[in-house]
Every structure is written in C-alpha cells, then in structure tokens.
Structure 1
Amino acid sequence: MLPTGSKEELDELFASLEKMAADFETTRPLLKASISDEAFLNLVAQQEEMTNKANVLFSYANLLFAADTQDQNALALLARIQQFMAELTNRTMFFSLWWKDLDDTHAEKLMACAGDNRYWLEEMRHFKKYTLTEPEEKIINLKDVTGSNALNTLYDTITNRYTFDLTVNGETKTMTRGELAVYMREADPDIRRQAYQELYRVYGQDAPILGLIYQNLVRDWHNEQLGLRKFVSPIAVRNLANDIPDEAVETLLAAAEKNAVIFQRYFKLKARWLGIQKLRRYDVYAPVAKSDKKYSFDQAVHLVMDAYSAFNPKIAELAERVLAEDHLDSEVRRGKQGGAFCLTALPKLTPWVLQSFQGKAEDVATLAHELGHAVHSMLASKHSILTFHACLPLAETASTFGEMLLVDHLLKNETNESVRRDLLFRQVDDAYATILRQAYFAIFEKEAHEMISAGASVDELCTGYLANLKTQFGDSVEVSDEFKYEWVSIPHIYNVPFYVYAYSFGQLLVLSFYQQYRKEGEAFKPRYLKILETGGSQSPDQILKTAGIDMRQASFWQGGFDVIDGLVSELEKLPA
C-alpha cells in the first residue's frame, strides 16, 4: 500500500531504504566474473526490493503533487525524495556498472538463470557503450536534482497555476485549462476561436520564460547525452530507452510526413460539412453536427465497462477495480495537474487514474484510454517491478485499443444520426491528434534540438514551430499567428523528450491489431491478451514479431494510414 502521509510513516520508508542501500553496499566484493548464480540472483532480488520501496515513495509524492501542484508540502516532499534517490542511486550504481562491463560469456550464463528478470538485465547492457565512469555517473545524478528535475518541476508549477477567462453567453468565466479545452470543440466557431486565443494569450505571455526553461533542458540533454555519452542524435537516447531501432522510428516519421495528405484531404472535406471555404486551426476538432449531448460520470463508466465487457469480461473486471478501490480522481479543480494519466506504483497494487471529467464525449474516451493503461498494468502484474512496465510505444496499446472498443460500442448503440455522424468524424479527428500531430511534434523536437544547439532564440523556435504546423496542414487549414506558442504548452516535450512518437506508434499498431480483431474475432483475443500480459518482460521487437509485425518495414506503418484513408473515403460518400 501507499503511505497515508504521516511524517513517521514517511521517515520509516526513508530509513528502510537507507538500510537496504547500506546492506547492498557490502556486496561490492562479490562482483566478479566467477560470482555464483545464487549470489547473483540474490543481488537482483535486493535491487527489486529497493525498487519496490522507492516506487512507493515516488508514487505517493507524485500523486500528492498531481492532486494540487501548488501544495508546498507536496513540492517539498518531491524535492526531498529526488535528492534522496539520487544519493541512493549513487551508492548502489556499482552493480549496474559492473553488469554492463561484464564479458558476454559470463553475462549470458547469469542471464540464463534470471528467469523473468532476464530482459531487464539484457536491456541494461544495451547502454554499455554510453555509460561513463562511476564518479561521472554520480555527478550527473546529483546535478539532475537541481538541474533538469528542478526545471521540470518549475515548468509544471508555473503552468498548472494558470487560469483562463472566457466570455460565454455574455458571462465571463475563469477556468482551468481542462475546462477551457471543452470550448475548443464547441459548435459555435466564435467560442472555439476565443478559447484558443485565450489559451495562447496566457501561454504566450510566459513564452520567454517557458521557452528559456526548454532551451536549458535541451542544452542539458545535448551536453549529457551527445557530449558525454556520445549518442548519435538526441532522439536516439529515447529510442534506446524504448528499445526501438532508430531506423524503425525514422520510418514511422517518414510515413507520417508522406501521409499528411490524407488528413489534409479530410480537413477539406470537413470544411465542406461545416459550410466554410477553409478550416481555421480553431476548427480542426469542431463537431460536424451540433450536438449538446453530455454524459454523467456514471453513464461514462457504464459505457466504458459495457464496451470492455463485450470484448472480454476480464478486462471490465480489472477496470472496475480502479473505481472500486477509489483510485480515480475525476474532479475538476484549480491547481490539479492538467491532462490525464495512469500511475502504477507496484505490480500488485491497483493503478491510480487522474483526469478532469466534464461530461463531453472526449472525456468518456479519455476514461476508456486511462483505464486501458490500468488494465495493461494489471494484466502484466505477474512480472516483477523490473519487467512489468511495457516500453512507451507498446504502453499505448491497451489504452488506444480501449478507445476503439468504446467508439464501436457507441456507434452500435447510438440512434441519433447527428451524434453517430459526429462520432465517425471524431474517429478521424482523434487519429489526427494521436498520429499526425504527435509525429509532427517529434519532428519539431528534432528540429528544435538542432536549432538550440545552433543558438536559436525563443522567437526563432516559435517561427520554426509555426512552419511545422503549416507543413503538416498544407493548404487545407489556415493557421493563425498565436499558434506559434503551442509548443510551450506541451508538457511531454519538456518532461520526457521524444515521448510523443509513442502515441503515433501506439495508434498505428492498434489500427493493425483492430483490423486483425475484426477479421478473426474470438481467435484474436488470446493473442492480444498475451501481448498485454507480457508487459516489459520481452523486447518490443520480440513481442511484435509474435503478432507478425516488423516495425522496420514501411509497409506496416502504411497499413495503419491505409485504414485512415479508408475512413476518410467512407466519410466522403456520406450526403452532406
């Protein structure tokens, strides 16, 4: 269980970790090529136990901070944990350094007896050529506490205190970003415009500061990863962490650029449905039919559970555990971390889900998405803390698949034609948001890292981002100048550089899986569940090969875009 928050309980956790580290430090003399299997497995077990306890501390602090990013006690605890864990890691890193440096013959012998932890050990060795000396690694860990970690906390603290003013029906309302986002999908085009303009007015005011934070995070990334560790490119760092080959990621991004024309065609179609000559960027997610349908939270839960249950009752049962154990925070309130996430502290603990539910169809989809993450974690819970988390691209599998189950369920049961039509258009809207938009974020990140290394200013980065938008939209969408500030409003590019392509990867992968499901029906389900149950205990390449997928082939990625092309073609046949 997570701690309740009492000082005594937290102090006991810190003291327990301190003792574990001290005990582990005494094992350094055992680290020889001739170490016995039993002694080696005991060291791995000690690593696992420390990781479990550290995750409990980190998870508690992160949930406390997410609940209220302005809570000074949460901020202080987070800072204390970051400092403590950096020091703890420094004291125990001798094991990972020895393991990476061990010759292949002895390493293979030890991995052969490691059971479920084999892939964790194998993946650690992938970083051998990028690992520095023990003193250098210790300096980097300590530097990150007051460097990149502190900058990210500062960014989150600044941006999560923002409020936005919007006038609706003559009444000016002050709201959070999540509340404002609802109006970006409003039927009224003027309200959509005002909502976007207000969002980027607020972010734009702080763009020099937020941009400065980003510039320093990028410089830090470049100094460490390219300058010291000698990675070939900034994105290669994330690729290795994901255990995804560089060429597979480049093939994915190239496929996205090639297929931008599908979405450009869709945006022109959508403009005709909306009765306008050309979409503005404010109109990209506009509903094609005016529908004020709202869902209560209970209705949303029932819809998601019914969709999950129709696929497999076990999936629904696992998702229901999150609610039954009160592990879902759906309240809208100021200071709460924006967006949505699922956090799993330990394999055997039911995950926690955060979102700000406001009754819109997209909120129901978000619920399905985050509960999908939770289900993925619970299905993989037989693995250890070291191997149950899937890599980022595969971690989006169950969440995105869950959304598709929900949409199919809604289409089967919705009798209102205008709502059905809007759901069909929303499928392509969401495909744009998850695939093309995220791929172009990654393309911008690559460009931004190069620009900052060459001395680019925040204004130049804004100009570069605006050019990125105009390239992806072509002549199908009019992009207003305030969208040059969009990049400073994307937390992922700050907190987890190059995370974003995981969404593109996951969505295109799920389109492939979903096509298999529609063709095979029941026969597909055991194979899909086995993939989720594998968690992070095998390489992504190995997991996907069992599903007949080669991520290095452009044809695989093209297959996903062909599905979207088919959806657009179907929409083009509908009478306007």
Structure 2
Amino acid sequence: MDSRSYSGPSWDNSQEYHDFNDPQIKFDSDKSIELIEEIERSSPSLQEAVSNMKGNHIVASSEQIRTAQRVAEKRQSVVLFLGNLGTYASCSLSVNGDDGDAKALLGQVQSLRARLEASLKPLQIWQIFLGKDQLEEYLKHPIVKDDEFTIKRARLKREALLSLDQEALIKTLEVNGPTAFGNLYDDLSSTIGCKLEIDGTTKTLGLAQASALLEDSNRELRHKAYRAIEDAWRSVAVPCAASLNALAGWRLTLSEKRRKHFLDEPLFDNCITPATLDTMMQTIQDRKSTGQNAVATQARILKIKDYSPWDLFAPFPSDSSQDSRLTFDEAIELIKDAFRTVHPSMADFVQQMINEHWIEGTTGSKKRPGAYCTKFPKSRTPRVYMTYTGGMKDVITLAHELGHAFHNWVMRDIPMAKTRYPMTLAETASILAQTVVNEFLMERAKSDQDKLSGLWTDSRDAEAFLLNIPCRYQFEYKFYERRPEGSLTAFDFEELMNQSWNDWYGDTLSEGNKMFWASKLHFHISSLSFYNFPYSFGYLFSLGVYARRAAMGQDFFESYVKLLRETGEMTAEQLARKHLSVDLEDKQFWDQSIDIVSNKMDQFSSLSKSLGY
C-alpha cells in the first residue's frame, strides 16, 4: 500500500504580517483612514467643478488640476494598504473559514474600500468630463500618466454615468448589498459539511475534501462524493438562490438606470468588444462537437456507458497497480521541467515560489473549495491557493495558477496602474502554462499508452473550455434575461442549470449537474458577473499565442513576456493586432484555435481505438 503523503505545503504570509496582532496591520489601517480623510477633504473642489459643469465639459483651473493630481497620489497609497490587508485576510479565510480575526479585518477592509470609492467619485467623474487639452496637462503627473489607459477607457462610459451623488451612494451601499451576499456565500462554502460513507463508516468532510474524491479511480466513491456535495449544497439552496437573485437584481437595476445591457459592464471590464464575444461564442457553439467528442472518448476509455458528471474528473486508467497520483514535490518537478522547455527562468520562478513558501496546498475541513492566484501589492509577491491531493487535475490546476503567478512576477517592476489587466488576458498566462505541461507530458511519452494519457489531459481542457464554460455562460445569460420578471426559486435554478448542461453536453452525459448553480463560486462573486467567458477566451487565445512557439524558437519567450507586460495597457483586440497580427472579431482566428483542439481530439479518439478501448 502506498504510504506517501500527497498533500501540498502550507503557505507562509508572515513576510507581510506576523499575525493579526501585528502592529503593521494597525499602521496600514490607520494610514488608509488618514489618507481617505484627506481625499474627502480635497473632494469638494472637484465636486464643485462637476456640479458647475457646462454640458459635458469641465473647465478646470491649474490649482484644481494640482488638487486632482494629489488625490490620485493618495489613492495609489490607499490601494496598496487596503490591498495588502484584504489579501492577508482573504488568504487566512480561504484556509480557515471560521477565522474570526480574518473576518473582522476583511469586514473593515471592505467598509474602507466602499468609503474610498465613494470619496473618489468626484475625481473619477472630473477625469471623465475634463476638457481634452486640460486632460493632457493633468496626465503630465507621473502617477496619473501611469493610469492613462484606464482614464481614457473610463471616458468612453460618460453617457452611462448617473449623478455624482448617486454614484457615491451606490459605492457606499455596496458593502451591505452585493458584498454582503458574496460574504454569505463564502461563509456557506467553508462551513457546510458533506456526509458520505467510506469503508463502512459515515464521515463528514469539508467541500474541498469531498471535491478531491471526484478524482478517485473508484467510481462508486466518486458517485458517493458527488451526491454528498449535491446534498450539501441543496441543504443551503434557499440562501444560495437569495444570493444569486440579489446580485443579479442589483446589477440589472444599475444597468437599467445607466441605460445599458447587462453584458456591457463585463465586456468593458474584460477589454473586449461585443463583436469579439459574439464571434467567439458562436464559433464555439458551431463546433461544440469537438468538446462532445472528447467526453465520448473519455467514456469509452473508462468503459462507462452511463457517463455522468461525477466521472468528469476521473483519472486516466493506469495499467500499473501503483497509485498513479503524484506527490506535491513530484508535481513541482514535473512543472519545472515543462516550464524549463520554454525558458529556464520560468522553472527558477517555480522554485522561488517553493523556497518562499508562497503556495498553499494543504487539505482541511475548513478550507474553501477551488483554486486561485493572488498577490500582496506592497511587496509585489504572488500567492497560489489550492487543495492538492495528487490527481492529474490537481497537477494541471497547480500549473494553471503558477502561470497566473508568473504573469504577476514579470510585471513586478511596472507601475501598479499598468498591472491591472482584464481577466480575458489574465487567463492567457495561466492556460498557456497548463498547455506547456500538457505538451511536455506528450513529448516525454514512452509508449502509445503514455501518449493517450497525455491526450486525456488535453481532453479535460477541451471539455472544460468548449463545453463547461459555455454552459455556464448560457445559464447566466438566460438567468439575467429572466430575472427582471421576478426572483427565481432554487427549483427554477436547478431546471435552468440542467437545461444548459443538456444543451452543451447532449447525450454524452447521463444527467446534468443540477446544483452547479450553487456549487460554482464564480456565479456568486459580488464584484463580477459573467466570470466565465474569459476562460474560453484565454484558452483559445493562449493556443493562438502558443502556436507561434515552434516557428519562433528561442525568440518565443521574449515575445511572450513582452505580451504579458502589456496586458494592462491595451484592449484584447489591440494586443492581438500588435503581437499576433490577428483580428479577434474575425471568426478565422477562433476557428484556427479550435482546429488545434479538434486535431488533438481526433488523435485522442483514434489512438484509444487502436489500443483496444
């Protein structure tokens, strides 16, 4: 019996704060309050300029411009302080959802952020309506100049703005509105238990622990874990439904007031045009058979006729009697070896993440499910969070999050204002990283069985990004279309979710994941809606980037890093034109990326049949 430990390490965030009694926490908090108060005292002159605006044009005095520049300076400092405090609290709560000190600090940070945003509204509106010539004078300040892309993008939204008082009030109310519902969901996800029978004993596991069992080779255990997770979420279906209804209701009300479509905000935040999104999603819809073929081949390899949602994370069947899982150290070495094929500095970075204890991979009953990458803005250092249990899905997830971390790392010397890149482009780095690992597994394959195992990993990506993500997008879109008619019940959500699964997976699955609307964190994030299509965008865009590696050879890495470093300074379409010479509103680009996936899935099916599956 394999007695190896598969759990990952715990991270060490004491480099930022020793604990919640660290005096630096009080200093950063007090300094934030002090700076916010200074901003509030400076706001009246900017507010007066907005109130006295003639038409859609502000004429500012030189003193007013200097005041605005000073406010921008203070804003940058507050963002650093609150960002550090918020990251520390969120990291602690991810590991232990019952951490009272972390909850208290996060609540304080959220309140201060709302106060900061309200105090900054005069500046933000002033920037939007400032005359063109005076804007150029305002941008001469080095800190303001760094924020030029964001400011000029914001000026495109002037027609959607409400009055200054209304905009400030919205920010003030958010903390007890959508933010509170997001906090409620976080509390639920870290405290509800999953009861299931294992080896004749009924056990209660946390969601993260139970989710890890979905990667087990024992189908009966996967099924038990899936039903236990499903039952756990159904037990809190009413508050989860209330959360979704409240979040959507808030956003739809704002969209109505601004005379905007509910997709306008997520499109703007992700720096893509409606035409780009429509073209990409329609291309994926037209070619969803690529993802369906991947699932059908998985079912044939596993010899399962009634392939089901609890089989989607099943491991590749190994001929060996040994445990096919990898220890955390083995996974790190695999990822380093893969990254090294692109450039040695990528492998060195992974080792630094280990040396500095910047990765959290333990298991625990109070841990929240999922995985993410975050960063401490003061030190400009990244952190990776997940629950590592050794399955290949965990290995790929680890590579994915390390890709995000590498993206942050190569931008650490860039002014903070230029490092705020949209999620569409963020997913480029993470998905390219996992693609590199997948390709490495294929290249080192010693047999056809090994090649099939590598293609199995590729098939998981095809299913996730060409079926699962579009399924989420369809569900959320249809929900937002229905929400103005009234709140949906938990049963309504189940039906809507099930229909989306059936539409995308077709007859490749025996049933849909009806409780996915509750279990998927992405639907419940208070600050973002449609946290789905950027994943498919990142997947297909990264394939387009990675496809140039063979032709560029040693020049690829330098070109890739240049692309990453400019993700906070231009739209996705501008970045694609500059670095890839492609038009994202043209179906051809998306078809070419899906062609790469389709060819792999054809090989996956053909090889599996030749091996007798």
Contact 2:373 2:401 in 1 (8 A): yes
What does residue 369 of structure 1 align with?
A: 400
Alignment-derived partner of residue 215 in structure 1: 245
User: Who is 2:329 aligned against?
Assistant: 298
Partner of residue 336, structure 1: 367
Asked if 1 retains the 8 angstrom alpha-carbon contact of 2:426 and 2:538, the reply is: yes
- Going from structure 1 to structure 2, the CA distance change for 1:33 and 1:58 (only over 3 Å counts) comes to same
Equivalent in the alignment of 1:525: 557
Are 1:407 and 2:427 counterparts? no
Aligned to 2:113: 85
Q: Give the structure 2 partner of residue 476 of structure 1.
A: 508
- The 8 Å contact of residues 339 and 347 in structure 2, kept in 1 or not, is answered as yes
Contact preservation (8 Å) 1:347, 1:377:
no
Residues 213-250 of structure 1: per-residue CA shift (max 9 Å, x gap): 211111111112x122222x212211111221122112
Structure 2 Cα separation of the partners of residues 101 and 290 of structure 1? 63
Aligned counterparts of 1:362 and 1:101: Cα–Cα separation in 2: 49
> Does structure 1 residue 200 correspond to structure 2 residue 227?
no
* C-alpha distance in 2 between matches for 1:126 and 1:112: 21
Matches of 1:416 and 1:362, distance apart in 2: 21
Partner of 1:460: 492
Q: What corresponds to 2:529 in structure 1?
A: 497
Deviations 1:12-48 (A, max 9, x none): 2222122222333454447753437876654433322
Superposition map of 1:174-193 within 5 A: 174-193=204-223
| Counterpart AA for 2:147 | N
- Which residue of 1 is the match for residue 16 of structure 2? 2
Q: Secondary structure at the match of 1:374?
A: helix
Shift of 1:474: 1.7
Distance (whole Å) between structure 2 residues aligned to residue 570 and residue 416 of structure 1: 15
Distance in 2, Cα, partners of 1:385 & 1:62: 20
Alignment partners' CA distance in 2, 1:13 and 1:109? 32
Indicate yes or no: 2:446 matched with 1:431.
no
* 2:282 paired with 1:254: yes
Residue 550 of structure 1 aligns with an amino acid whose one-letter code is D
Q: Helix, strand or coil: the match of 1:146?
A: coil
TM-superposed CA distance for 1:64, in Å, is 2.2
CA contact (8 A) 2:214 2:310 kept: yes
| Alpha-carbon distance, 1:66 to partner | 1.7
Task: Give the C-alpha shift of residue 69 in structure 1.
Answer: 1.4
Q: Is the 8 A contact 1:185 1:285 kept in 2?
A: yes
* Structure 1 match to 2:258: 229
Matches for 1:273-352 after TM superposition, within 5 Å: 273-290=301-318, 292-346=323-377, 348-352=379-383
- The DSSP-based 3-state class of the residue aligned with 2:418 is coil
Report the secondary structure of 2:195's partner residue: strand
Q: Deviations over 1:135-164 (max 9, x none)?
A: 112221121111110111011101211222
Task: Tell me the residue number matched to 2:388.
Answer: 357
- Alpha-carbon distance in 2 for matches of 1:217, 1:84: 21
Q: Kindly state the Cα deviation for residue 119 of structure 1 after the two structures are TM-superposed.
A: 0.9
Provide closer, same or farther for how the CA distance between residues 112 and 259 of structure 1 changes in structure 2, counting only shifts above 3 A.
Answer: farther
Structure 1 gap ranges (5+): none
Structure 2 stretches lacking a partner, 5+ long: 1-14, 50-58
**More displaced 10-residue stretch of structure 1: 395-404 or 205-214:** 205-214
Give the Å deviation of 1:371. 1.1
Shift of the alpha carbon at 1:301? 1.3
C-alpha separation between the residues in 2 aligned to 1:471 and 1:361? 28
CA contact (8 A) 2:494 2:514 kept: yes
Over aligned residues, Cα RMSD in angstroms?
Answer: 2.3
- Secondary structure at the aligned position of 2:244 is classed as helix
1:166 to 181, 196, 202: 196
Partner SS, residue 93 of structure 1? helix
* Cα distance change on mapping 1:298 and 1:287 into 2, 3 Å: closer
Instruction: Determine if the alignment matches structure 1 residue 388 to structure 2 residue 416.
Output: no
C-alpha contact 2:68 2:123 (8 A) present in aligned 1: no
Aligned twin of 2:53 = none
1:485 to 515, 518, 534: 515
Give the TM-score normalised by structure 1.
0.93
| Match of residue 62, structure 2, among 21, 25, 35 | 35
Q: C-alpha distance in 2, partners of 1:403/1:258?
A: 25
Secondary structure, in 3 states, of the residue corresponding to 1:2?
coil
TM-score, scaled to structure 2: 0.88
Match of 2:3 in 1: none
2:12 match:
none
1:128 aligns to 2:158 (yes or no): yes
Q: How many residues align?
A: 572
Instruction: Classify 1:52/1:365 alpha carbon distance in 2 versus 1 (closer, same or farther; 3 Å).
Output: same
Name the amino acid aligned to 1:158: L
2:204 partner SS: strand
User: What's 1:14 paired with?
Assistant: 29
CA distance in 1, matches of 2:355, 2:297: 44
Q: After the TM superposition, which of the residue ranges 456-465 and 391-400 deviates more from structure 2? A: 456-465
1:434 positional shift: 3.0
